[in-house]
Structure 1
Amino acid sequence: MNGKAGPRATGEGTTGSTGTTRTRLDRGRGALGPALELVHTGRAPTRAVLTAELGVTRATAGAVAAELEALGLIRVDARPAAEAGSQGRPSHRLEVAEDGPVALAAQVHADGFRAALVGLGGRIVATAPGCETVDADPAKVLGSVVEAGAELLRGTGRRCVGAGLAVPSAVAEPDGLALNPLHLAWPAGAPVRQIFAERVRAAGIEGPAFAANDVNLAALAEHRHGAGRGARDLLCVATGHRGVGGALVLDGRLHTGSSGLALEVGHLTVNPEGRPCYCGSRGCLDVEADPLAFLTAAGREPGPVVSLLQQANDLIRGEYADPVVRMAVEALIDRLGLGLAGLVNILNPDRIILGGLHRTLLDADPHRLRAVVADRSLWGQSGGVPILACTLDHNSLVGAAELAWQPVLDDPLGALARV
């Protein structure tokens, strides 16, 4: 859905006629989804830009925008004002509707779970208090997080288009099985999508339910709304509460492989003499560049109250002047840089974005990380690959909502008729 919406409409009738307006809308109906995605991702801030991006006439673009507004999805500025110094007729501004429908987003990680309501544009409308314990039974956890989301929906009275779940595990397609939820103590192969969908239906929440890997969803959210916007081939690497994950956007689309299991970057070896990994190997990124690895390198015992990610971030931001902390930062940067360099050699991305603790490491010493990647990668030496920090808070939650929003982006009329 990154291309044009189809051939340019022609033969428009006289403006103001009800019949002509209906004809324009009929001709532009196939453009409703592409138009909504353009507004959703911020690529069509005005009706003039929408017209150009869709490749339709101004009248057809106006009819499409009006229909999306009638559906409660966007708002069209009724009285556009010209910007200072501009010439010609001002264009109507387009924005997502602040009071429009929402998607229920849920995320489970090693240190708890959270639910949120997310509107178009990746806007988090409401969040439930996070839980800091995760039961070994996925049905109990998913039941609790869905109930938290249902409570948000009852409290806000918002219409829900569907639900999405982010989990720290590879999720196999087409069955939605969490194959390696190592840090959750869940059984391998847990049918998380089925369980989640059942809990969503039991809570009376309308719309389809989806589940996917948390870093894949973070990459999807960042590509549409954050630091990855505009990239064609985007590599995302992140460490949240435990372990390291990676995701790839190729030619503007999330790449998940033949069965949803692509880019298990956490199991790249970056220290052959390093720690034993859960996968059976040794020195993988998963155990050499996550929050626990950093706290261990810095000689700090993980505390029982605050999450590992927060402990690690707080230590870097508050005690970076401590030589031991600084050495631990440098050690993790070198390991991370080695892994990124290998990925650059294989994938040749046009941008790398880092999330979680890796974002904090980049902030602490950006020159060191970029130098390691450049020195160890062929394409890095030829000009460098931009390495940026993720910019969205709770990007996995936003990405989970993107799963639920996708049917609406594909077919606004049909999807909203079903919920």
Structure 2
Amino acid sequence: MNGRETTTRTRLERGRGALGPALELVHTGRAPTRAVLTAELGVTRATAGAVAAELEALGLIRVDHRPASAAGSQGRPSHRLSVDDSGPVALAAQVHADGFRAALVGLGGRIVATAHGSGTASADPAQVLGEVVETGAGLLRETGRRCVGAGLAVPSAVAEPEGTALNPLHVAWPVGAPVREVFARLVRDAGIDGPAFTANDVNLAALAEHRHGAGQGARQLLCVATGHRGVGGALVLDGRLHTGSSGLALEVGHLTVNPEGRPCHCGSKGCLDVEADPYAFLTAAGRAPGPEVSLLQQARDLLRTERSEAGVRRATEELIDRLGLGLAGLVNILNPDRIILGGLHRELLDADPERLHAVVAERSLWGRSGSVPVLPCTLDHNSLVGAAELAWQPVLDDPLGALAPL
């Protein structure tokens, strides 16, 4: 071994512990150049170069050694770093009330391929998840991509460490269904490489938005969203999901916002879950929900096409007030530095941001002293991207160890 090879190996050994942090910086877009990577890691330029070269050799990132100079700039531009578009993928899937979607997701949260299945979800989780895994395996065969693992987003609180779905009401699964165990077995039986993970869909949406979307840079990020039925919440603290002692934190749907309101399946009345979801919006607007498309799509279509109609306008104001009241309570308890809204709540924010901000400010202690930014989620299929983040995490933690078997 010559001197140059010895020096390169020594630099890489020094920086081996930085491979994971370096990959996460490129994955989240926070290190677009080697100069930024060097500064963020706190290593020498040579060590950062060795780390980048190793990640490139693993097929995870690309290094542009001859980037074009910006107009008017002086000096040699730093090597540009980006994820490798032809690299490995994670299999991600989301189950909801009227079907499922499967996708292959690369580093950077980029969806490579996607497919969906429609129809009312079976009461047998194994049947639904079997279709999900079969669809995902088909995408892997079609693309020929390496797979690092699989992640599943479900519309239910998921208890830890068992991985059981405790309230899958809107997909008619039995309470306590062992969804993680079933999903992992089906993934393994299908010959799909890597570990399998399962988590709540709103938690995963928040994780994806924090890494790639509207939540980037927030230290205490609160996400509240409504999908086809019900309302979910999630909290990201310093880059990590806060899931509580057993995975069940932030069940925000059971905040009471209308004490004399609709009965909730939890036994209370007027919970956010039944007062600020698509079904509540449609009924408040005097519309009978139909079976042709999802409740979320029906509510979105109504809000976008008939916003000026008196009944729709009243329903919009009513749900904004209920949502704002719930958010104000959460601000008082959590004091987040940013709130992001998904699903129909994003549409309500777009419809009248001033009204929502006013309600939150008026009903929260901290809203009066400094307004909390309330922003729409920006990622398409953010729960899918978040499910992929679960599968990518072992690679982000230890790229060499995770990819060695592949």
2:56, 2:62 within 8 Å by CA — same for their partners in 1? yes
Question: Is 1:48 equivalent to 2:42 in the alignment?
Answer: no
1:83 equivalent in structure 2 = 70
2:123 equivalent in structure 1 = 136
Question: Is 1:99 equivalent to 2:86 in the alignment?
Answer: yes
Question: Is 1:251 equivalent to 2:238 in the alignment?
Answer: yes
Q: Deviation of residue 394 (structure 1)?
A: 0.3
1:401 equivalent in structure 2 = 388
Q: Deviation of residue 253 (structure 1)?
A: 1.5
2:104 equivalent in structure 1 = 117
SS of the aligned residue for 1:39 comes to helix
What per-residue deviation string (whole Å, max 9, x for no partner) do you get for residues 321-371 of structure 1? 101101000000000000000000000000000000000000000000000
Question: Is 1:318 equivalent to 2:305 in the alignment?
Answer: yes
2:206, 2:236 within 8 Å by CA — same for their partners in 1? yes
Farther-moved stretch of structure 1 (409-418 vs 82-91) = 82-91
- Identity level (%): 85
Q: Which amino acid aligns with 2:78?
A: S
Q: Which amino acid aligns with 1:350?
A: D
Q: Deviation of residue 130 (structure 1)?
A: 3.2
1:198 equivalent in structure 2 = 185
SS of the aligned residue for 1:149 comes to helix
SS of the aligned residue for 1:125 comes to strand
2:200 equivalent in structure 1 = 213
Aligned counterparts of 1:53 and 1:255: Cα–Cα separation in 2: 25
Q: Deviation of residue 86 (structure 1)?
A: 1.8
Q: Where do 4+ consecutive residues of structure 1 move more than 6 Å?
A: none
| Matched residue count | 405
Q: Which amino acid aligns with 1:351?
A: R
Q: Which amino acid aligns with 1:65?
A: A
Q: Deviation of residue 78 (structure 1)?
A: 2.2
Q: Which amino acid aligns with 1:149?
A: G
Question: Is 1:224 equivalent to 2:237 in the alignment?
Answer: no
What per-residue deviation string (whole Å, max 9, x for no partner) do you get for residues 250-271 of structure 1? 1221100111000100000000
Q: Deviation of residue 199 (structure 1)?
A: 0.6
What per-residue deviation string (whole Å, max 9, x for no partner) do you get for residues 127-184 of structure 1? 0133232100000000100100000000000000000000011101011010111111
Q: Deviation of residue 216 (structure 1)?
A: 0.2
SS of the aligned residue for 1:269 comes to coil
Farther-moved stretch of structure 1 (261-270 vs 128-137) = 128-137
SS of the aligned residue for 2:339 comes to strand
What per-residue deviation string (whole Å, max 9, x for no partner) do you get for residues 72-109 of structure 1? 00000021222112222210000000000000001011
Aligned counterparts of 2:311 and 2:131: Cα–Cα separation in 1: 41
2:99, 2:116 within 8 Å by CA — same for their partners in 1? no
1:207, 1:418 within 8 Å by CA — same for their partners in 2? no
1:349 equivalent in structure 2 = 336
Question: Is 1:385 equivalent to 2:379 in the alignment?
Answer: no
- Spell out the pairing of 1:37-76 with structure 2 (5 A cutoff): 37-76=24-63
Q: Deviation of residue 418 (structure 1)?
A: 3.0
SS of the aligned residue for 1:79 comes to coil
Aligned counterparts of 1:269 and 1:247: Cα–Cα separation in 2: 17
Q: Deviation of residue 387 (structure 1)?
A: 0.2
Q: Which amino acid aligns with 1:217?
A: L
1:76, 1:92 within 8 Å by CA — same for their partners in 2? yes
1:338, 1:376 within 8 Å by CA — same for their partners in 2? yes
1:5 equivalent in structure 2 = none
Question: Is 1:295 equivalent to 2:292 in the alignment?
Answer: no
SS of the aligned residue for 1:130 comes to strand
Farther-moved stretch of structure 1 (122-131 vs 23-32) = 122-131
1:268 equivalent in structure 2 = 255
Structure 1 unpaired stretches of 5+: 1-13
Q: Which amino acid aligns with 1:380?
A: G
Aligned counterparts of 2:120 and 2:6: Cα–Cα separation in 1: 59
1:10 equivalent in structure 2 = none
Q: Which amino acid aligns with 2:110?
A: R
Q: Deviation of residue 21 (structure 1)?
A: 0.6
Q: What value does the CA root-mean-square deviation take over the aligned residues?
A: 1.0
Aligned counterparts of 1:307 and 1:61: Cα–Cα separation in 2: 49
2:100, 2:116 within 8 Å by CA — same for their partners in 1? no
Q: Which amino acid aligns with 2:22?
A: A
2:323 equivalent in structure 1 = 336
Q: Which amino acid aligns with 1:32?
A: L
Give the TM-score normalised by structure 2. 0.99
Aligned counterparts of 1:226 and 1:344: Cα–Cα separation in 2: 21
2:292 equivalent in structure 1 = 305
Aligned counterparts of 1:283 and 1:76: Cα–Cα separation in 2: 54
Q: Which amino acid aligns with 2:368?
A: Q
Aligned counterparts of 2:242 and 2:74: Cα–Cα separation in 1: 43
SS of the aligned residue for 2:197 comes to strand
What per-residue deviation string (whole Å, max 9, x for no partner) do you get for residues 176-216 of structure 1? 01011111110001110000000101111010000000000
Aligned counterparts of 2:234 and 2:72: Cα–Cα separation in 1: 43
1:163, 1:401 within 8 Å by CA — same for their partners in 2? yes
